[in-house]
Structure 1
Amino acid sequence: MSERQPSPDLGSAPELISRRAPLLVFSGQSNKPLAEAICQNLGIPLGLSRTEKFTNDNLIVRYEESLREGDVFIVQTFSTPVSDSIMELLMMIDAAKSASAGRVTAVIPYYSYARSDKKDSPRISIAGRLVADLLQEAGADRVLTMTLHAPQVHGFFKVPVDHLSADSVLSQHFRSCVDDPHEAVVLAPDAGSIKRAAGIAHRLDAGLAMVDKQRISDTEVSPRALIGDVKDRTVFIVDDEVSTAGSLIETVGIARSMGAKDVYVGVTHGVYTGPAIERIAQLDVTQVASTNTVLVSDEKIKAAGGKLAVLDVAPHFANAIRNIHSGESVSTLFS
């Protein structure tokens, strides 16, 4: 249960009361610290809600304040346990609509099922689309997310989707890691990441390189060559997420074999499942940075031997929520 904070000084945030509908932000259980940080940036308290689990493993969600005609934003990232996180969000959306909320926006910092974006083998579900259908059926009027693994997932929704980017945060972090970013190289771990890596390289005025991979089987991909020059240069590896860190090991290995001096890693989503933390602790990198779209526990940070860094994207989500609420453009936040 979240605690109601003191009422904000409305004079310090006049844009938040410019609309007749009150702005209300609530959080599921998956990443409450991010929701609290978003509210702190907005200058409003986190809404009061409660989620409980019965002995039969069923969930119940309950709002403990009025939502009538409110502009409701529900923050819930799809992290472990993912199925519980999705079900809780569906129930919170449904309960908000039943409580006469004026509009409900699902704020999903990490949409994990974006990886399931196509039918690449027989008799499987395109779960990214299925989850999108469930969110809309529950009553979501809008979705706000960050760095989808596959951009086409955006098209799975029939409601408006605002797709934020963490590239400015990662670029700023990389710039602080070296004296002269111009001497560094941004490395894309595969062809699918080259566009994003090129954008960050442009922000930093740095070089660009890419790992060329070949598919060995339906489930296995192996690096074949590195396109670009990384010898005696600081390398910034960028990707959308780190899960088990298996691909990261391969990318770091080929960069080191080609003479990279220092290696930094920057990703939007630090999922860190299975052996990831142990692998990162032993990995020949200076640092692995992720944003706080996924909650990274103090235990994981400690176990990684000081190699993990967490970057704050709460201001990005707060600005997007503010613009959505006031009817302003979200795309202006990317300029």
Structure 2
Amino acid sequence: MVEKYHDESLKIFSLNGNVPLAEKIAEVFGCKLGKCDIKKFSDGEIAISIEESVRGAHIYIIQSTNQPVNDYYMELMIMIDAMKRASAKTINIVLPYYAYARQDRTAKPHEPITAKLIANMLVEAGATRVLTLDLHTVQVQGFFDIPVDNLFTSPLFAHYYMEKGFQGDDYVVVSPKNSGVQRSRSLAEYLNTTLAIVDQDDELENGGYVIGDVAGKTCIMVDDILNSGKTFAQAARLLKEAGASDIYACASHALLSPPAKETLDAAPIEDICVTDSCLTDEARHPEKLTYVTCSKLMGEAVKRIHENTPMSPLFKLDDENYL
């Protein structure tokens, strides 16, 4: 049994985005989630009331912005405002998945930078700090004028594959698209493997090509967001054509939007490992899906933020207490 955390000034609340993960994070502290009531009126308006005193407290609000994205962001903004008006000392936002992070630049004229807009909204609502997991691009941190801690999932996945013995020359970590090389390189360094890249191009007859030697090797594909499953499925096909033996995959955030299940079930992938940063209906889960929890990692981060201790150990593979 986890010993109860004795600092009563720390309070953890959950909104509707991912209550099971929030409960696991609260378990790290040996405490229960704070009491609040969330209602939705018939016209879609959201009403929130806090059902305990938060005056002078350090508040941590856990909200993952998976589907329905906009409803969950609106819940979060209203909750921040409620905490501010209830005289909370600090309002710390725990965002296991930061939706809209992919809209981080103007790729063509007249496009919004929605990732920056969300950052502005959170700050203006009254957030004092943000803790998140594996941002789509790390420069999104710079969109905020408050402290942002961005944790990485590489140590979680490295621990998972190390337990399987997936290390050394017989394995290769693969970026399934050329934009995710840095993420794949990080895992390759942990597992002491080589690195390969799948350059997907729909304009080519075969849909792309593989850069690197994968023939006869077990491949581990790495991505941050698993949405439709098309990127993994296409990359797996190209890896097989290049002579790969077995293919595994891992992704930080499993959105699994239809038809991801059907696409991934038909792909030549042995196992797909994801974190529980997003909550999705089991009917949308591929048969080969495996979950690892990010709750200990995020719970430890909350503790370190609250105690003003270094976050750097959480970026290493040295301590299995939070893996």
Instruction: Select between 243-252 and 27-36 the one with higher mean Cα deviation.
Output: 243-252
1:101-116 equivalent positions in 2, closer than 5 A:
101-116=88-103
The CA deviation string for residues 33-67 of structure 1, in whole angstroms up to 9 with x for no partner, is: 00000000122211111111001110001111111
Q: Distance in 1 between matches of 2:89 and 2:117?
A: 25
Partner residue, 1:72 = 59
Contact 1:183 1:207 in 2 (8 A): no
2:260 maps to a residue whose letter is A
Supply the distance in 1 between the matched residues of 2:53 and 2:174 (Cα, whole angstroms).
49
> d(CA) in 1 for partners of 2:27 and 2:309?
20
SS in structure 2 of the partner of residue 319 of structure 1: helix
Residue correspondences, number: 315
Output the TM-score relative to the length of structure 1.
0.90
**Alignment-derived partner of residue 4 in structure 1:** none
Alpha-carbon distance, 1:179 to partner: 5.8
Rounded to whole Å, the distance in 2 between the matches of 1:152 and 1:215 is 28
Which residue matches 2:321? none
Matches of 2:169 and 2:60, distance apart in 1 = 40
2:9: which partner in 1? 22
Gap runs ≥5 in structure 1: 1-7
Paired residue type of 1:232: G
**How do 1:81-230 and structure 2 match up within 5 A?**
81-178=68-165, 180-214=167-201, 223-230=207-214
**What is aligned with 2:223?**
239
Corresponding residue SS for 1:238:
strand
2:303 aligned with 1:322? yes
- In 2, Cα distance between equivalents of 1:144 and 1:276: 28
- Asked if the contact 2:202/2:208 (under 8 Å) is kept, the reply is no
- C-alpha separation in 1, matches of 2:113 and 2:185: 29
The change in CA–CA distance for 1:29 and 1:179 in structure 2 (over 3 A counts) is closer
- Structure 1: distance between partners of 2:111 and 2:9: 42
Distance 2:163 2:239 in 1: 21
Specify the code of the residue in structure 1 equivalent to 2:311.
Answer: V
Note the residue ranges of structure 2 that are not aligned, 5 or more in a row.
Answer: 317-323
Distance in 2 (CA, whole Å) between partners of 1:46 and 1:193 is 36
Match of 2:319 in 1: none
Task: Give the Cα separation in 2 of the matches to 1:74 and 1:50.
Answer: 14
Q: How many Å separate the matches in 2 of 1:33 and 1:188?
A: 30
Per-residue deviation, residues 205-256 of structure 1 (Å, max 9, x unmatched): 112111124485xxx9x95321111111110000111101111121111111
Describe the SS at the equivalent of 1:26: strand
How big is the alpha-carbon RMSD for the aligned residues of Structure 1 and Structure 2? 1.9
Distance 2:268 2:202 in 1: 25
**2:236 match:** 252
1:224/1:59 Cα in 2 relative to 1: closer, same or farther (>3 Å)? same
Q: Deviations over 1:279-330 (max 9, x none)?
A: 11111110111100001333333xx23x011110100100000000111122
In structure 2, relative to structure 1, the CA distance for the partners of 1:262 and 1:178 (3 Å cut) is: farther
Does the 8 Å contact 1:230/1:258 carry over to 2? yes
Counterpart of 2:101 in 1: which secondary structure?
A: helix
- Describe the SS at the equivalent of 1:158: coil
